[in-house]
Amino acid sequence: MEKVIMGTRLPAKLWLDEVEDSCMSQIMDLTSLPFAFKHIAIMPDAHAGKGMPIGGVLATNGVIVPNAVGVDIGCGMCAIKTNLKAEDFSYTDLTSIMSKIRAVVPLGFDHQNKKQDQELLPQGFDFEEMPVLKNQYEACLKQIGTLGGGNHFIEIQKDTATSDVWVMIHSGSRNIGLKVANHYNKIAQYWNEKWYSEMVSGLAYLPMETQMAKDYFREMNYCVAFAFANRQLMMTRICEAIQAVKPETDFDPMINIAHNYAAWENHFDQDVIVHRKGATRAYEGEIGIIPGSMGTKSYIVEGLGNPESFKSCSHGAGRLMGRKDACRRLSLDEAPGAYKDIAQVIANGRDLVKPLVELAPMAVIKG
């Protein structure tokens, strides 16, 4: 259940027990924003980010804040259940499948060697209406179907209750999301200074009636759609790799969710722009995914539509320490010890989502 703290102008509602000082400072900054609506919602996996905590939900009146979306726009999860059981896969099967996946899904900073079919890109967008992305079309054709680095991953998992085998991917919009985010944050910073706005550090904003905000919103939505298309293509090729080893495999429809975006939504009888930065939408009955860190369990969940969280939930385990700190103390920036206990994150969000499936990793590929 949430606990409420009073901020500068608005309260903040927190679904976690402990908050590091740097994260709390950012929460207090959010509560001071003149355009923030109702309250600030902080998810169970929250930790300090750039300008705004990752795991934060900010609803605004009439403005959009690029850094409240983040740099990997549209980053999210997808998962597919297969018709096979864990015992159907030998060690040799898994080794062969992972080798085939590595051959067809570029990892880290790698892009495709050749352009992919343009039909794989999101449709219904006009690149000429997108100031940043109109120069990125060729890049998109080589970035689609690639995993990226950091905490992005591909996992083959098993349901701890039934042994059903699942496939899960965590990935985003690759370099195009970063370009869009940085471009519009710089524009927002410039105009906030021009307007003599009392800008909170790292949270420059654009009023929605401006062309700049409309351009950002359009390009952000393309990045969200691209990130989805990116996961779709990877999942298609992963499923083909599995079927090459296990031809009898069938797959259920794919679950997909994003956790870095902004959208017009109605909350408390008002139309507002909800920014979810490292937070997942969790409307009542909506199926979502909350992954653990490397080597820990992940969860398929059902949203409870809690209005106090703006119908949101956590997006993962959430970091306990930054990447540099983790490298120094644990010798690996993505070590499990760098993350919060996923079981505690799920417990803290028990009024946000209902866990449906608990998944344990069988084989993992990291970005």
The amino acid occupying position 78 is C
The partner residues of 357 in beta bridges, in order of sequence, read 300
Name, in order, each residue with C-beta under 8 angstroms of 196's C-beta and a sequence gap of 6 or more: none
Name, in order, each residue with C-beta under 8 angstroms of 157's C-beta and a sequence gap of 6 or more: 165, 166, 167, 168, 298, 359, 360, 361, 362
SS3 state at 89: coil
Backbone angles phi, psi at 243, to 5 degrees: -70, -25
Count of Cβ atoms closer than 10 Å to residue 18 Cβ = 9
The amino acid occupying position 351 is D
Has 315 been annotated as catalytic?
yes
Rounded-to-integer distance, Cα 225 and Cα 246, Å: 31
SS3 state at 87: helix
Q: With contact defined as beta carbons under 8 Å apart, do 362 and 94 qualify?
A: yes
| Secondary element (H or E) of residue 360 | strand 353-366
The partner residues of 280 in beta bridges, in order of sequence, read 313
- Cα Rg, the chain, nearest whole Å: 20
Catalytic residue among 47, 152, 170, 315: 315
Is the alpha carbon torsion for 301, 14, 74, 334 positive or negative? Answer: negative
Name, in order, each residue with C-beta under 8 angstroms of 162's C-beta and a sequence gap of 6 or more: 85
Retrieve residue 327's tokens.
Answer: 């490298």
Rounded-to-integer distance, Cα 47 and Cα 293, Å: 15
Q: Which residues are catalytic?
A: 315
